[in-house]
Amino acid sequence: MATTLLRTFVLKINFKFLYSYFCQKAKWNKRKEFDYHIFNYPSKKVEITNADVDRIIDSAWSVWSGAKIGLKFTSSNLETATIKIFFVAGNHSDKWPFDGEGHVLGHGFYPKDGIIHFDDDEKWGDKKGKGKQLLYVAVHEFGHALGLGHSNDSSSIMLRSYTGYRANIVLSQDDIDGIKEAFSG
Protein backbone atom coordinates (compact mmCIF):
# COMPACT_ATOMS: atom_id res chain seq x y z
CA MET A 1 0.00 0.00 0.00
CA ALA A 2 2.72 2.50 0.99
CA THR A 3 4.74 1.56 -2.11
CA THR A 4 1.73 2.16 -4.36
CA LEU A 5 1.05 5.56 -2.78
CA LEU A 6 4.69 6.56 -3.13
CA ARG A 7 4.78 5.38 -6.74
CA THR A 8 1.59 7.35 -7.52
CA PHE A 9 3.04 10.46 -5.84
CA VAL A 10 6.32 10.16 -7.75
CA LEU A 11 4.49 9.65 -11.05
CA LYS A 12 2.45 12.80 -10.45
CA ILE A 13 5.56 14.80 -9.56
CA ASN A 14 7.44 13.50 -12.61
CA PHE A 15 4.48 14.18 -14.90
CA LYS A 16 4.25 17.78 -13.75
CA PHE A 17 8.00 18.28 -14.02
CA LEU A 18 8.32 16.61 -17.41
CA TYR A 19 5.33 18.42 -18.85
CA SER A 20 5.24 21.64 -16.87
CA TYR A 21 3.47 23.41 -19.71
CA PHE A 22 0.30 21.53 -18.75
CA CYS A 23 0.39 23.30 -15.39
CA GLN A 24 0.27 26.82 -16.81
CA LYS A 25 -3.26 28.15 -16.60
CA ALA A 26 -2.42 31.51 -18.17
CA LYS A 27 -2.89 31.48 -21.92
CA TRP A 28 -3.07 33.97 -24.75
CA ASN A 29 -6.60 32.74 -25.54
CA LYS A 30 -6.89 32.32 -29.30
CA ARG A 31 -4.24 34.91 -30.12
CA LYS A 32 -1.50 33.65 -32.46
CA GLU A 33 -0.10 36.93 -33.81
CA PHE A 34 2.18 38.97 -31.58
CA ASP A 35 4.12 42.18 -31.94
CA TYR A 36 7.23 42.79 -29.86
CA HIS A 37 9.34 45.81 -28.99
CA ILE A 38 12.97 45.90 -27.85
CA PHE A 39 13.09 48.80 -25.39
CA ASN A 40 16.87 48.91 -25.01
CA TYR A 41 20.01 46.99 -25.95
CA PRO A 42 22.62 45.17 -23.88
CA SER A 43 25.46 47.31 -22.61
CA LYS A 44 27.92 44.38 -22.59
CA LYS A 45 27.98 42.92 -26.08
CA VAL A 46 30.75 40.66 -27.35
CA GLU A 47 31.32 41.16 -31.07
CA ILE A 48 27.68 41.99 -31.82
CA THR A 49 25.94 45.25 -32.72
CA ASN A 50 22.43 46.48 -31.95
CA ALA A 51 21.48 45.40 -35.49
CA ASP A 52 22.79 41.91 -34.62
CA VAL A 53 20.62 41.93 -31.49
CA ASP A 54 17.59 42.79 -33.67
CA ARG A 55 18.46 39.91 -36.00
CA ILE A 56 19.01 37.49 -33.11
CA ILE A 57 15.69 38.41 -31.47
CA ASP A 58 13.90 37.98 -34.81
CA SER A 59 15.61 34.59 -35.26
CA ALA A 60 14.51 33.51 -31.78
CA TRP A 61 10.88 34.22 -32.66
CA SER A 62 11.36 32.32 -35.92
CA VAL A 63 12.30 29.23 -33.92
CA TRP A 64 8.86 29.31 -32.26
CA SER A 65 7.15 30.04 -35.60
CA GLY A 66 8.73 26.80 -36.79
CA ALA A 67 6.39 24.82 -34.52
CA LYS A 68 3.88 25.06 -37.39
CA ILE A 69 0.85 26.05 -35.32
CA GLY A 70 0.35 29.43 -36.96
CA LEU A 71 2.33 31.65 -34.60
CA LYS A 72 3.46 34.94 -36.14
CA PHE A 73 5.78 37.52 -34.58
CA THR A 74 6.40 41.05 -35.86
CA SER A 75 8.84 43.69 -34.64
CA SER A 76 7.15 46.92 -33.60
CA ASN A 77 8.30 50.44 -32.82
CA LEU A 78 5.36 50.86 -30.46
CA GLU A 79 5.88 50.75 -26.72
CA THR A 80 2.40 49.20 -26.48
CA ALA A 81 3.58 46.01 -28.20
CA THR A 82 2.24 42.74 -26.79
CA ILE A 83 5.73 41.45 -25.91
CA LYS A 84 8.14 43.88 -24.25
CA ILE A 85 11.88 43.10 -24.20
CA PHE A 86 14.31 44.79 -21.81
CA PHE A 87 17.97 44.43 -20.85
CA VAL A 88 18.10 45.29 -17.13
CA ALA A 89 20.38 44.65 -14.16
CA GLY A 90 20.03 44.10 -10.42
CA ASN A 91 16.74 45.28 -8.93
CA HIS A 92 14.59 46.28 -11.88
CA SER A 93 10.92 46.78 -10.98
CA ASP A 94 9.84 43.18 -10.48
CA LYS A 95 10.15 40.68 -7.64
CA TRP A 96 13.05 38.82 -9.28
CA PRO A 97 16.24 40.92 -9.22
CA PHE A 98 19.19 39.75 -11.24
CA ASP A 99 22.31 38.58 -9.44
CA GLY A 100 25.13 39.91 -11.59
CA GLU A 101 27.16 38.18 -14.24
CA GLY A 102 27.17 34.41 -14.58
CA HIS A 103 24.06 33.15 -12.87
CA VAL A 104 20.46 34.04 -13.75
CA LEU A 105 20.48 35.15 -17.40
CA GLY A 106 16.89 36.23 -17.90
CA HIS A 107 13.26 35.68 -17.16
CA GLY A 108 10.10 35.76 -19.21
CA PHE A 109 6.68 36.20 -17.68
CA TYR A 110 3.74 33.97 -18.53
CA PRO A 111 0.74 35.25 -20.47
CA LYS A 112 -0.69 37.74 -20.52
CA ASP A 113 2.14 39.82 -19.09
CA GLY A 114 4.42 39.55 -22.12
CA ILE A 115 7.48 41.04 -20.41
CA ILE A 116 10.93 39.57 -20.97
CA HIS A 117 14.04 40.67 -19.08
CA PHE A 118 17.62 39.78 -19.95
CA ASP A 119 20.35 40.41 -17.37
CA ASP A 120 22.32 43.42 -18.57
CA ASP A 121 25.27 42.39 -16.38
CA GLU A 122 25.88 39.46 -18.73
CA LYS A 123 28.17 39.65 -21.74
CA TRP A 124 25.89 38.77 -24.65
CA GLY A 125 27.21 37.27 -27.86
CA ASP A 126 26.36 35.13 -30.84
CA LYS A 127 29.44 32.94 -31.27
CA LYS A 128 30.93 30.08 -29.32
CA GLY A 129 33.22 31.39 -26.61
CA LYS A 130 32.00 34.96 -27.12
CA GLY A 131 29.68 35.67 -24.19
CA LYS A 132 26.37 34.07 -23.31
CA GLN A 133 24.47 32.97 -26.41
CA LEU A 134 21.66 35.51 -26.76
CA LEU A 135 19.78 33.39 -29.30
CA TYR A 136 19.54 30.36 -27.01
CA VAL A 137 18.49 32.40 -23.98
CA ALA A 138 15.98 34.43 -26.03
CA VAL A 139 14.28 31.32 -27.43
CA HIS A 140 14.03 29.94 -23.88
CA GLU A 141 12.62 33.14 -22.34
CA PHE A 142 10.21 33.59 -25.25
CA GLY A 143 8.92 30.09 -24.46
CA HIS A 144 7.98 31.33 -20.99
CA ALA A 145 6.25 34.40 -22.44
CA LEU A 146 4.26 32.04 -24.68
CA GLY A 147 3.15 29.98 -21.68
CA LEU A 148 5.70 27.18 -21.24
CA GLY A 149 7.36 26.14 -18.01
CA HIS A 150 10.64 24.29 -17.65
CA SER A 151 11.26 20.79 -18.98
CA ASN A 152 13.72 18.14 -17.83
CA ASP A 153 14.18 16.84 -21.39
CA SER A 154 17.88 17.52 -22.05
CA SER A 155 17.17 18.32 -25.71
CA SER A 156 14.47 20.87 -24.82
CA ILE A 157 15.03 24.59 -25.24
CA MET A 158 12.94 24.86 -22.05
CA LEU A 159 15.53 22.97 -19.99
CA ARG A 160 15.92 24.81 -16.68
CA SER A 161 19.66 25.47 -17.04
CA TYR A 162 21.75 27.25 -19.64
CA THR A 163 24.06 24.57 -21.00
CA GLY A 164 26.28 26.78 -23.11
CA TYR A 165 26.53 27.51 -26.79
CA ARG A 166 24.41 25.45 -29.20
CA ALA A 167 25.33 25.52 -32.88
CA ASN A 168 21.87 24.47 -34.02
CA ILE A 169 18.92 25.75 -32.02
CA VAL A 170 15.75 23.85 -32.79
CA LEU A 171 12.68 22.93 -30.80
CA SER A 172 12.62 19.43 -29.34
CA GLN A 173 9.50 17.30 -29.62
CA ASP A 174 8.83 18.19 -25.98
CA ASP A 175 8.91 21.91 -26.86
CA ILE A 176 6.61 21.37 -29.85
CA ASP A 177 4.14 19.32 -27.78
CA GLY A 178 4.20 22.02 -25.11
CA ILE A 179 3.56 24.94 -27.45
CA LYS A 180 0.76 23.03 -29.16
CA GLU A 181 -0.84 22.41 -25.76
CA ALA A 182 -0.37 26.05 -24.73
CA PHE A 183 -2.25 27.24 -27.83
CA SER A 184 -4.87 24.50 -28.07
CA GLY A 185 -8.58 25.10 -27.59
* Active-site annotation, residues: 141
Residue 103 annotated as binding site: no
99 is in an annotated binding site: yes
Residue 117 annotated as part of some ligand binding site = yes
Strands annotated E in 26-144: 33-38, 72-75, 83-88, 106-108, 115-119, 124-125, 132-133
User: Is 131 known to sit in a ligand binding site?
Assistant: no
Whether 126 has a binding-site annotation, put simply, is: no
Q: How many CB atoms are closer than 10 A to CB 27?
A: 17
Tell me the C-alpha distance between 23 and 2, whole Å: 27
User: Is 1 annotated among the ligand-binding residues?
Assistant: no
Rounded to the nearest 10 degrees, the angle between the axes of helix 134-146 and helix 50-65 is 50
Q: Is 150 annotated as a binding residue?
A: yes
60-95 CB burial, b ≥16 within 10 A, e <16: bbebbeebeeebebeebeeeebbbbbbbbbeeeeee
Q: Is 101 annotated as a binding residue?
A: no
Helix (H, G, I), strand (E, B) or coil at 72: strand
The reply to whether 122 sits in an annotated binding site is yes
Residue 35 identity: D
The closest alpha carbon to 147, from 106, 114, 172, 171, belongs to: 114
Question: Annotation-wise, does 37 bind a ligand?
Answer: no
Binding-site annotation: residue ranges for Ca(2+): 99-100, 119-120, 122
Pick out the residues of the known binding site for Zn(2+): 92, 94, 107, 117, 140, 144, 150, 158
Binding-site residue numbers are 92, 94, 99-100, 107, 117, 119-120, 122, 140, 144, 150, 158
